[in-house]
Structure 1
């Protein structure tokens, strides 16, 4: 499936996956959302799920679900307490149930808002809070609408990923995600992202992303690049990576590894 041509197509894909899909897993997901989150006036899925379904359809999504809630922090904390949710490392909560893992935040406790990098007053402001511009997309569960910049799908179709908000709570974590996405999805890093890679992907950074992969993935490949310089060159040059794309595409376990349409 190709990148959605218009926001209405993203909406249709999300609507079908969340509200019409009849698989047991999706039925359980609907029940979880209705039980724990749909009493709030505004709550949205942010980033990964919407991004992957927008770029390649439901088969590209195999991950956790992140939600942001337009409600006071105390009200969100009460939901967390009722479900035995634990604190996650970025100021929100996390719990697993019925085969799904959900992370959720009150808007005011999202990292960018808490640290004062973005003034967050409504769900739409969350699109300015993500490190990667490809993560700056939301699906409002109550209104069943997609929230993103007008240029969002054009950027995804071009296969160019860049940084939206540079300050972030984990340089290594975002370096690892950048490396994995560029390689697995055959992306072109934008100028801000390439500068970030050049700054942080030194010898220590290379060792760090290799360690991250070993912790997160059963199938590992990044160590085969050998050193930071070689990995940087493959990240910067699509022609270099395409010579080995079949090898690493088979070994990397990032969900939704199909290459973007040209």
Structure 2
């Protein structure tokens, strides 16, 4: 899918709203999200906004991640009100469920892994932007205020197809490496930031292609890169210079 990056935060905001207006199922999903935000502050986080920002509303087909500033009792009361009974506990102690054909992952702000493990200091909700693995995921949509919250150069990086590392510390390094590789290959990354170059240069020596392929298929039931593509990326990384961006060449 070709990219058509949102020009500014206002355009990105409109794309998010258009997504929820595009069919009846999504309108009903928005009613659920807004009902949640009426009880406690809530932010849509990461992947949904990234993909809509990159490709438009038709480019998003995954689950919606939501962070709430409240305890899980509020969430469970709301789910009961909407007659949502098939709920699983997610890895952050929150809940995962499907509603009107859309999958949701919802967890409490205080349960965010980097805050809970004192990796990142929580100062305000914007601190969530520091907890992501990659720069393209550092984006929030405040449901109640209907505003997009990003780092200063977020949209500029999307336009340049430039990806940078944000937080290398995580509980599952192999899964993180696969997430980065899937982003590079599936979302047409063309430039790697210096921190990401350094990170990949180190960790790609720790995992064989077979291990990464197995990890990817186990998590996503698909494979996004061949051994040849991975070798080409490693070859690119040999040309990385400390403190500098790296332009990728896969041909």
Assess same fold via TM > 0.5: yes
**Residues 171-224 of structure 1 deviation map (CA, whole Å, 9 limit, x = unaligned):** 111111111111223312211112221222126342222112333455535344
What is the Cα deviation at residue 150 of structure 1? 2.0
Higher relative contact order, chain-length normalized (CA < 8 Å, sep 6+):
1
* Corresponding residue number in structure 1 for 2:243: none
Q: Is the 8 A contact 1:214 1:220 kept in 2?
A: yes
Q: Does 1:222 align with 2:232?
A: no
What is the Cα deviation at residue 46 of structure 1? 0.3
**Residues 8-47 of structure 1 deviation map (CA, whole Å, 9 limit, x = unaligned):** 11111112222x32x1331232233245x23323101000
Alignment size in residue pairs: 237
Give ranges in structure 2 of 5+ residues lacking alignment. Answer: 238-245
Q: Is the 8 A contact 1:113 1:119 kept in 2?
A: yes
Q: 1:89 aligns with which of 88, 91, 94?
A: 91
Aligned ranges 1:97-246 → 2 under 5 Å: 97-187=99-189, 188-202=191-205, 204-217=207-220, 220=223, 222-225=225-228, 229-233=231-235, 238-239=248-249, 241=250, 243=251
* Corresponding residue number in structure 2 for 1:257: none
Aligned residue for 1:38, secondary structure, equals helix
What is the Cα deviation at residue 138 of structure 1? 0.6
What is the Cα deviation at residue 77 of structure 1? 6.0
Q: Is the 8 A contact 1:91 1:110 kept in 2?
A: no
What is the Cα deviation at residue 229 of structure 1? 4.2
Q: Does 1:67 align with 2:70?
A: no
Judged with a 3 Å threshold, the aligned counterparts in structure 2 of structure 1 residues 83 and 148 are, in CA distance, closer, same or farther, namely farther
Give ranges in structure 1 of 5+ residues lacking alignment. Answer: 244-262
Judged with a 3 Å threshold, the aligned counterparts in structure 2 of structure 1 residues 218 and 234 are, in CA distance, closer, same or farther, namely farther
What is the Cα deviation at residue 134 of structure 1? 0.8
**Residues 32-82 of structure 1 deviation map (CA, whole Å, 9 limit, x = unaligned):** 3245x2332310100001111112211211100000011235544665787
Q: Is the 8 A contact 1:163 1:192 kept in 2?
A: yes
* Corresponding residue number in structure 2 for 1:258: none
